[in-house]
Amino acid sequence: PILPHRKMPHSKKPRLTGSNDDAEASSDARPNLSADEFACILGFLPPKQIMCLRRVCKTWREAAKKTIVPIVEFNVDSIDKYNALTVMVTAMPNLQQIKISSMGARHKYNDGEDPDEEEAARTANYSIHDIEILSNFTKLRILEFECAPMNGRYSSLFEFSLLQKLKITWGMKWDLELLSGLPLLEELHVYSGGVTGNINSLKALKDTLTMVSIEFSNNVNGDFPVHGDFMDLADFPRLKVLCLKNTAVTGNLLDIDEHHFPQLQSLSLPDQVCGGDGYKFQRIAEMTDFIHKLYHLKKRRSPKLLLYWRWHLSEDSPDWYRSRRYPQLPFSIELVKVGSRLGYRWFGVYAVTSENDDGPTQYCEINWLDQEPERESSDYEIYLQKLERIQRNIDFYKGYS
């Protein structure tokens, strides 16, 4: 039988008295932080997280604008990354590290002053993006340009009062004088054919620079526009690394005395510097005299300074001639460090099939400049082990020093 429909009574819910008061009390229990205080908290997070959290509320959005973003690389290597950078200009302007790279095929940054006309014509139909937006990031401490599609000069990119590290690999044209706009710069890394100027311009940064590395500066004509005397940097009190390979810098290595380059630990100079790596002497007697003078300089410096440098006898020297059937006569010289003991050795190479085809290096015996370590010293066993390995390389010129 079908039972008659009966309306079920509604269950009564207990009334939540004072619910609004409880909610307000709960709200009051939460910390009521200002945008400045939230900015301090966000300062412990990477850029991507900060950009996400800024969407939570108006306070967090304001906090993101004030956040000093931790030093974490933000690499602009795609259009998406560039678009994100344009948002960060206003949403998170206190980035401390940015790297500018290639954005992909047929994309470039706007041409600067004095662009290469041929390159400008070749890329005329590329999508153009504004590189000048970088000037809005006034808190930058690290800035890198790595094969960035840039053409011309961009003086506004050298006006960051807090920048400590600048690295430029290819790309724009610029002069060393522009570095005066970076008063706190500590490290300069350059591998670019677009740089010009006299290294004397670095004196504006005398009290801050710890590293100067300009490893490639020749332009399209094969010239080396970076020039000057490396000794102009001799009174830099904090300079630890100086690399000027492939520049037109000149000077004399033996001009360095105990008061110059007080913190220097690594030095690399081009071969046109008298005594620079690869320098060619006119007489054999000059080479041995140079080594003994260099020894006194090295004893006052870092143990690794000038190791792996090589010097040669010029082919224009009256002392030079070439052997075609036997190992090349030992007309080159280098320092050798075995344990704590320093010396030098001559070496030559095989002539294999032509004048320009060289074979394995042939070493002479070591000429010692230091005394042998004491047999009771902790260094003696290390010295013997390293000496044995070096002597294995002595073959054709065994017994000759």
Each residue of 354-363: pLDDT tens digit?
Answer: 455 556 788 9
> Cα separation of 315 and 261, whole Å?
33
Provide the b/e sequence for 273-297 (b: ≥16 CB within 10 Å): bebbbebbbeebeebeebbeebbeb
In whole angstroms, how far apart are CA 75 and each of 65, 155, 194? 20, 21, 22
Token output for 190: 């350059």
> Cα separation of 295 and 335, whole Å?
9
Count Cβ atoms within 10 A of the Cβ of residue 243 and give its class: 0-12 exposed, 13-18 middle, 19 or more buried.
middle
Torsion of CA 390, 395, 399, 400, to 10 degrees: -90
pLDDT at 353: 44
Three-state SS for 97? strand
pLDDT at 224: 73
- Count of other CB atoms within 10 angstroms of residue 350: 16
In whole angstroms, how far apart are CA 47 and each of 91, 138, 276, 321? 11, 16, 45, 63
pLDDT at 258: 85
Query: By the 8 A CB rule, do 332 and 347 touch?
Result: yes
pLDDT at 219: 57
pLDDT at 362: 86
Q: Positive or negative CA dihedral for 187, 189, 194, 200?
A: positive
pLDDT at 327: 66
pLDDT at 329: 85
In the chain, what is the straight-line distance between the N-terminal and C-terminal CA atoms, in Å? Answer: 123
- Count of other CB atoms within 10 angstroms of residue 251: 22
Look up tokens 């706190």; give the residue: 184
Spans of the chain, pLDDT less than 70? 1-31, 217-223, 303, 323-327, 349-359
Provide the b/e sequence for 181-192 (b: ≥16 CB within 10 Å): bbeebbbbbbbb
- pLDDT tens digits, residue range 262-301? 999 999 999 999 999 999 999 999 999 999 998 888 777 7
> Cα separation of 95 and 140, whole Å?
6
Query: By the 8 A CB rule, do 384 and 340 touch?
Result: no
Count Cβ atoms within 10 A of the Cβ of residue 38 and give its class: 0-12 exposed, 13-18 middle, 19 or more buried.
buried
Three-state SS for 163? coil
> Cα separation of 367 and 65, whole Å?
65
Helix (H) or strand (E) holding 148: none
